[in-house]
């Protein structure tokens, strides 16, 4: 498992790698399961895993009252909204097409970081993101014959939803650890995800379930919805939401590769060019400075380690050390 010694960029990169397979896995799962089951139902097994992890770590299954409102935002966006909206959209457009649009997620995340996390990206950062926005929107319009299709609109809404969830979850992870935040969010989403998924299975039962569809559903349930967020939220918490969030500019190219490799989808010249342009934007914006004015962003006490507020305010729980702040972590005292 990743430890506190891992750099924020490495944690963020692991999260992006996990998320880059989500669209191909979603497409594969939708060959046998309805978009609602794939998009929203993925949160149900993930919540069961989250409950097991929290119980094994002797942590409460629900967050402290003082952050319940903010946690409901994470649950509604990450636990429900993004998965459902993107799954419905991917029922109408290809994984390759959706992959390029995901280049908008860093822009949404950076915008929400300004509003919610107290971060202030410098002009160079915004310039790089503006170029990325122009590339992905232009690509979607050209692919849609001069207009945005309904699938594109759903993906754009999903991207804004993701930006909200990433920012709010990343800010909370500064105090509670990334793994707790996603676990709590998945459990809080259960009153919606469980009954709606059950109704969807009854209304549109799985059909001709193949190994590929089952594997795709398992991936989005346990990796996309749970394990990938352990690294992602911790990276956002330690490296800053805007700074680490821009790593997702590389996600479209990764998803294109997975779509071609796993689904056999064709990557055309226009799609490839758009992906290359997005990667170039990532390189340009990589070293752009991001300031933080948030009250909970403190100066590191030693290289490579960001101080976090103590966890002692979790009811009934003792203060946690760096070594116990993430499941399976090793000693962080070295």
pLDDT at 130: 81
Q: How far is CA 323 from CA 63, 125, 239, 271, 320, in A?
A: 21, 34, 18, 43, 8
pLDDT at 199: 97
pLDDT at 289: 59
Do residues 109 and 285 make contact, with C-beta atoms less than 8 angstroms apart? no
Contacts of 220 (CB under 8 A, 6+ apart): 22, 25, 26, 29, 38, 42, 83
pLDDT digits (tens, 9 = 90+) for 263-295: 998 888 888 888 788 767 766 665 555 666 544
pLDDT at 154: 93
pLDDT at 114: 72
Residues of the chain scoring pLDDT < 50: 1-4, 294-334
Do residues 267 and 259 make contact, with C-beta atoms less than 8 angstroms apart? yes
Considering only CA atoms, which of 261, 334, 277 is closest in space to residue 95?
261
pLDDT at 283: 62
């Amino acid at each position: 498992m990743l430890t506190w010694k891992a750099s924020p960029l490495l944690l963020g990169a692991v999260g992006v790698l996990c998320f880059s397979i989500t669209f191909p896995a979603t497409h594969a799962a939708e060959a046998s399961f309805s978009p609602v089951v794939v998009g929203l139902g993925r949160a149900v097994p993930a919540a069961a895993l989250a409950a097991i992890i929290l119980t094994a770590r002797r942590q409460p299954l629900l967050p402290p009252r003082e952050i319940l409102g903010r946690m409901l935002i994470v649950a509604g966006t990450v636990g429900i909204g993004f998965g459902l909206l993107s799954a419905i959209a991917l029922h109408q457009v290809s994984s390759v097409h959706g992959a390029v649009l995901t280049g908008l997620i860093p822009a949404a995340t950076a915008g929400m970081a300004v509003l919610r996390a107290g971060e202030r990206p410098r002009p160079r950062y915004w310039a790089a993101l503006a170029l990325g926005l122009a590339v992905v929107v232009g690509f979607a319009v050209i692919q849609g014959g001069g207009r945005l299709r309904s699938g594109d609109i759903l993906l754009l809404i999903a991207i804004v939803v993701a930006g909200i969830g990433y920012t709010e979850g990343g800010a909370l992870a500064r105090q509670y650890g990334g793994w707790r935040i996603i676990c709590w969010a998945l459990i809080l989403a259960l009153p919606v995800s469980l009954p709606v998924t059950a109704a969807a299975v009854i209304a549109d039962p799985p059909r001709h379930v193949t190994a590929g569809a089952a594997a795709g559903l398992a991936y989005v349930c346990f990796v996309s919805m749970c394990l990938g967020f352990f690294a992602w939220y911790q990276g956002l918490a330690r490296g800053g939401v805007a700074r680490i969030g821009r790593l997702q500019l590389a996600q479209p190219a990764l998803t294109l590769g997975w779509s071609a490799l796993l689904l056999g989808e064709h990557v055309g010249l226009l799609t490839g060019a758009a992906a290359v342009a997005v990667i170039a934007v990532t390189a340009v914006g990589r070293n752009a400075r991001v300031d933080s004015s948030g009250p909970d962003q403190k100066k590191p006490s030693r290289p490579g380690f960001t101080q976090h507020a103590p966890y002692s305010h979790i009811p009934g729980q003792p203060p946690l050390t760096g070594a116990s702040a993430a499941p399976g972590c090793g000693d962080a005292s070295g």
